[in-house]
Chain A
Amino acid sequence: GENVEQHPSTLSVQEGDSAVIKCTYSDSASNYFPWYKQELGKGPQLIIDIRSNVGEKKDQRIAVTLNKTAKHFSLHITETQPEDSAVYFCAAAVPYQKVTFGTGTKLQVIP
């Protein structure tokens, strides 16, 4: 089955700096890669997703890149703000199979 690795497990950045979270996946059949933000005591919230026919997608301060050859995808947050502090999960999905989540990255934005 699909295996998703996520790094780093924790990340501290100064407010205003950029944060990058990286994930790798194992199954070349995966074609959908969502990213979720989970605040303490709440459920995950979808923040951005990308499909395998696209190499990059951007939504304001958030961008995701996908390298299908290397089976890597990354989340980039620019101009970080304290409210960006949360746990972020990447995920990969093979058609008609369950979504596989990464192990999570705890992001702390220091004011």
Chain B
Amino acid sequence: GAVVSQHPSWVICKSGTSVKIECRSLDFQATTMFWYRQFPKQSLMLMATSNEGSKATYEQGVEKDKFLINHASLTLSTLTVTSAHPEDSSFYICSARGIGTDLSSYNSPLHFGNGTRLTVT
């Protein structure tokens, strides 16, 4: 259980174009989804938190107009990298926290997708 599917697994795009990455919770409803960016041999850097039906909360230093997040349903969140540039090339990973996975604590387990390798040429 608790499977998160992320698509595409890799994408190559030209500078100036936009790319959309999808994150789906397959067997549970995700009230909250998180988007991370990971540079080679580094830890996960939280970019933003998205809650179903409301605006995403972005971490300091992350441009909300460049990284558009939509969480329109309890099973789908999307990250759109707008006007991508080579410096946006990275590994993007989403994670989801389900409803009621741990009613005793807000900090229920995060389940991660398999990531999207974005290369901007």
- List chain A positions with a Cβ less than 8 A from chain B: 31-32, 34, 36, 41-46, 49, 51, 89, 93, 95-96, 98-99, 101-104, 106
Contact = CB atoms under 8 A, between A and B. Distances in A.
8 tightest A-B CB contacts, nearest first: A32-B107, A43-B112, A93-B107, A43-B114, A43-B115, A44-B112, A101-B43, A43-B93
A31 B107 contact: yes
B105 A95 contact: yes
A26 to B, nearest CB: 16
Contacts of A102: 43
B42 interface: yes
B43 A34 contact: no
Interface of B: 4, 6, 34, 41-44, 46, 49, 93, 95, 105-107, 109-115, 117
A106 B40 CA distance: 12
A31 B43 contact: no
A94 to B, nearest CB: 8
- Residue with the highest number of chain A CB atoms closer than 10 Å, among B34, B43, B107, B110: B107
A96 B108 CA distance: 11
- Residue with the highest number of chain B CB atoms closer than 10 Å, among A44, A51, A93: A44
